[in-house]
Amino acid sequence: MTTLALTGDSILQRRLLSSTDPTIKPLFDIIRDADAAFTNLEVLPNDYRGHPALESGGSHFGAPSWVLDELVEAGFNMFATPTNHSLDYSISGLEYALDQLDQRQLCHAGCGRNLEEARRVSYLTTPSAVLGLVACASTFASGQQASKQTAHMQGRPGLNSLRVSSTYEVSPEQLEQIKKVSLDLGIEQQRQNDIDLGFAFDAADGVFPLNSMNFKAGGRIGHFQKPNDEDLRGILRWVEEGRRMSDIVLVSIHAHEQGKTEEDPAEFIRDFAYAAIDAGADIIVGHGPHVLRGLEIYKNKPIFYSLGNFIGQNELVQRLPADSHDRFRVEENLTPGALYQTRSNNDQIGFPAHSRYWQTVLPICEFQGHELVSLIIYPVSLGLGEARHRRGRPRLASGETAGTILKRFSALSQRFGTKLEENEDTYRLVIAPI
């Protein structure tokens, strides 16, 4: 038997003290007892080195490199690295962070010095099983994705991208209005000029592009997305390799994109998860939107569409560039803590104002070979209501809070036909049957 602990986003900025803090130790003892434990590294362990990028993932998430040691002490030994924060300190900051991971000989996947390196499967060997990790991100700024290395030119460091093909379907009347607006503003004339000069290409039949958005007339009104075919093939190639060369294949995707609500995954995420399982993945772990999404079982393989926040110390970033002050419209002399306090209007808006960002679950998966045989869900609270410098530390939830978290996760999972059974004695949910 092999046990695997799964978590979402770890935004760690302070010493965790997972072995000595009695508030959080029971949770991390469960993680340490697992054969393998996964987390998404939402911060960049770069010691604030590199050059702050103009466009960050929302806030520049630099961090001391010793956060890696804290996470290892907490029991983690598998790390996903591609997020919308991976290039917060440009290429030089990413390369420094990769060096820190490599020097510690950690199992990490999803970022690299070229595209093939970013896509490669990373292996963790335990006494009971070999696990393979493939990680990608669909949420990132242009230029953050790694590029191919060729015989004539080195590749660009960056993340393993899953680009998304996006189309807005509108009524025929709406499409004509969009075309008229584009003509009246001169946007379409400029696009045609770019095509004539060889800087752009004609759109697909029936598609009208406007400022990077593709419109077409259709019977369904809405925004429709699907995985980019080239990226999907490149990622699945390494999922298949992981299937050949390991017992359990874990695929991680960092995706902020949503459906109708924040708790609904975008349609392409489900398509990607199915394709990865068909290619040999044993488990899909999603994260990115900072909230819980449901669990789906596909071909007896679990798909966690988002495990939300696990460690939430995003307000404790010690250093911020001038761009952050410009973005949030605050004076340059504000300290980081004062900037975040202003940004949240003293906890009245943003993450501190909503409990859903401070509640999550810890799944413990048990495998026999590469077959899932049991799955236990522990409710986790991040301590909303504590002082700003104390909250964000995960701990096992209890009482009414635990019940609320479990029932919410069960309801989210029921949308995918997943039935969860509550164990009242331990405040945990067990999938039955597997």
DSSP symbols for 364-410: EEEEETTEEEEEEEEEEE--BTB-TTTTT--EE--HHHHHHHHHHHH
Residue whose C-alpha is closest to residue 119's, from 282, 227, 234, 248: 234
Summarised one tens digit per residue, pLDDT across range 229-256 is 999 999 999 999 999 999 999 999 999 9
User: Can you give 299-355 as a three-state secondary structure string?
Assistant: CCEEEECCECEEEECHHHCCCCCHHHHHHCCCCCCCCHHHHHHHHCCCCCCCHHHCH
Continuous segment of H or E residues that includes residue 159: strand 158-159
Residue 331: CB partners within 8 Å, gap ≥ 6? 325
CA distances from 303 to 62, 77, 82 (A): 30, 20, 19
Extract the tokens encoding 97. 């962070």
The model's confidence at residue 394, banded by pLDDT at 50, 70 and 90, is very high
- For the whole model, what pTM was predicted? 0.94
Structural domains in the chain, sorted by start: 2-150+232-431 (3.60.21.10), 164-225 (no CATH)
List all residues 6 or more positions away from 419 whose beta carbon is below 8 Å from its beta carbon.
Answer: 413, 431, 432
CA angle 365, 366, 372 (to 5 degrees): 90
pLDDT of residue 58: 86
Q: Which of 165-174, 212-221, 303-312 has the highest mean pLDDT?
A: 303-312
Smallest CA-to-CA distance from 295 within 135, 160, 176, 408 is with 408
* CB proximity list for 421: less than 8 A, separation 6 or greater: 429, 430, 431, 432
Residue 434's pLDDT band (cuts 50, 70, 90):
very low
| Sequence-distant (≥ 6) Cβ neighbours of residue 141 within 8 angstroms | 53, 55, 57, 84, 87
Neighbours of 171 (CB within 10 A): 12
pLDDT tier, 81 (very low <50, low <70, confident <90, very high otherwise): very high
370 touches 305 (CB < 8 A): no
Q: What is the mean pLDDT of the chain?
A: 94
Mean per-residue pLDDT, 138-142: 94
CB 272 within 8 A of CB 162: yes
The mean pLDDT value for 272-293 works out to: 98
The pair of structure tokens assigned to 344 is 């949240």
C-alpha triplet 255, 373, 136: angle, nearest 5°: 20
Task: Please give the distance of CA 123 from its chain centroid, rounded to a whole number.
Answer: 20
Confidence category of residue 427, pLDDT binned at 50, 70, 90? very low
User: Residue 227: what pLDDT?
Assistant: 96
Return the closest-CA partner of residue 94 out of 162, 41, 150.
41
pLDDT at 433: 43
Predicted confidence (pLDDT) at residue 284 exceeds the cutoff of 60: yes
Q: Could you give the CA distance from residue 287 to residue 293 in angstroms, rounded to a whole number?
A: 9
Number of Cβ within 10 Å of residue 92's Cβ equals: 13
Instruction: Give the model's pLDDT for residue 238.
Output: 98
